[in-house]
Structure 1
Amino acid sequence: MTPRLPEAPGEGPTADLLRARRGGVLSTLDRLLLHSPPVAEGWNALLGALRGGTTLPADLRELVVLRVAVLAGAEFEWAAHEPIARRAGLTDLHLRVLRADDATAEPVWTPAQAAVLAFTDASAGAVTVPDPVFAAVREHLDDRGVVELAVLVGGYAMVARFLVALEIPPPEGEVPG
């Protein structure tokens, strides 16, 4: 599979910003974003903050990213984040359950993971987060954590929609930073 658009040249100050966050490399996703330098710069800042500037524990962050990938059918997102999720402590069992229709029904999650997963399903699916789901998240996250969780779900839903709409094929493993 090839993307629906050709890759833009990986040159210029915006490409350098993306490359700096990615440890010197550009992904196919980055090269497509470079068709719009202002969008690429904003994307880079937001995703950099979500990947490296939040207080959310890594297991919760990657749980959200992978669940959003499943809900949106974004195989690129799954392939890029599965190795990160494994390093954050998610197991083969967790990864299998995340692909299930009702991943929250399986008793493999810590209470915090279950609450975050239910929030992710609600926010990424129906958009509305029911009061009981929100209350469950509040038992585990402070105000900053709730803000970061909500933006993480929305941010990675944006990533997933971009990847799926442009038919960006999965990478060969993890995509840096």
Structure 2
Amino acid sequence: MTDNGTPRLPLAAEDGAVADLMRARRGGRLSALDRLLLHSPPVAEGWNALLGALRSSTLPGDLRELVILRVAVLNDADFEWAAHEPIGRRAGLTDVQLELLRRTDPAGDAWSAMQSAVLVFADASTRTVAVPDAVFAALREHLDDRQVVELVATVAGYAMVSRFLVALEVPPPAGEVAG
């Protein structure tokens, strides 16, 4: 992060049609992430559509947030963690689960079989990109075709988010809106 706790680029203006689309998805507010994306309206518009789709997938909220938070940990994206931890809690993730997500090996008794399979998949996909057949097969025991596609896209999408946040050193302000 820069010495003064600000991103590496200045925040863009909050006006224009794309900013309005982003604000509509966000419930009226733009995040620092949005304001950085607005330096490129085509990128911001595509990002907004993709992240909106990922956030409204058929995946249960606890699985979606588990994946987002795990990717944040693996990629050292503090903004992403700060933005999604409260959402994860509302989706049903417990204090114990949130603590486990922060560990190098998050395995433990706190996870359902489905959550465990999703977590192992997220780790494999984020750490090595290639997912072993056994990891994929375990995931298929719990998710249908659509949910698999949505899970893979969520892991990939939030890897993109985390890399953007980390590269531009976006600090995690309190009360920031997510994704």
TM-score under structure 2 length normalisation:
0.96
Structure 1 residue 174: deviation in Å?
Answer: 4.8
Q: Does 1:106 align with 2:108?
A: yes
Amino acid at match of 2:95: D
Give the CA RMSD over aligned residues. Answer: 0.9
* Unmatched runs of 5 consecutive residues or more in structure 2: none
Amino acid at match of 1:25: R
Q: 1:116 aligns with which of 109, 115, 118?
A: 118
Mapped partners of 1:113, 1:15: distance in 2: 35
Match of 1:147 in 2: 149
Size of the aligned set, in residue pairs, is 175
Give CA-to-partner distance per residue, 1:56-109, whole Å, 9 cap, x none. Answer: 000000000000000000000000000110011101000000000011x32210
Amino acid at match of 1:87: R
Q: Does 1:26 align with 2:30?
A: yes
Structure 1 residue 161: deviation in Å?
Answer: 0.1
Amino acid at match of 2:126: A
Mapped partners of 1:66, 1:15: distance in 2: 26
Match of 1:156 in 2: 158
Q: 2:171 aligns with which of 155, 159, 169?
A: 169
Mapped partners of 1:80, 1:13: distance in 2: 24
Q: Does 1:95 align with 2:98?
A: yes
Match of 2:129 in 1: 127
Q: 1:70 aligns with which of 50, 73, 76?
A: 73
Percent sequence identity over aligned pairs: 72
TM-score under structure 1 length normalisation:
0.97
Distance 1:132 1:80, change over 3 A: same
* Unmatched runs of 5 consecutive residues or more in structure 1: none
Amino acid at match of 1:31: R
Give CA-to-partner distance per residue, 1:111-131, whole Å, 9 cap, x none. Answer: 000000000000011001101
Amino acid at match of 2:9: L
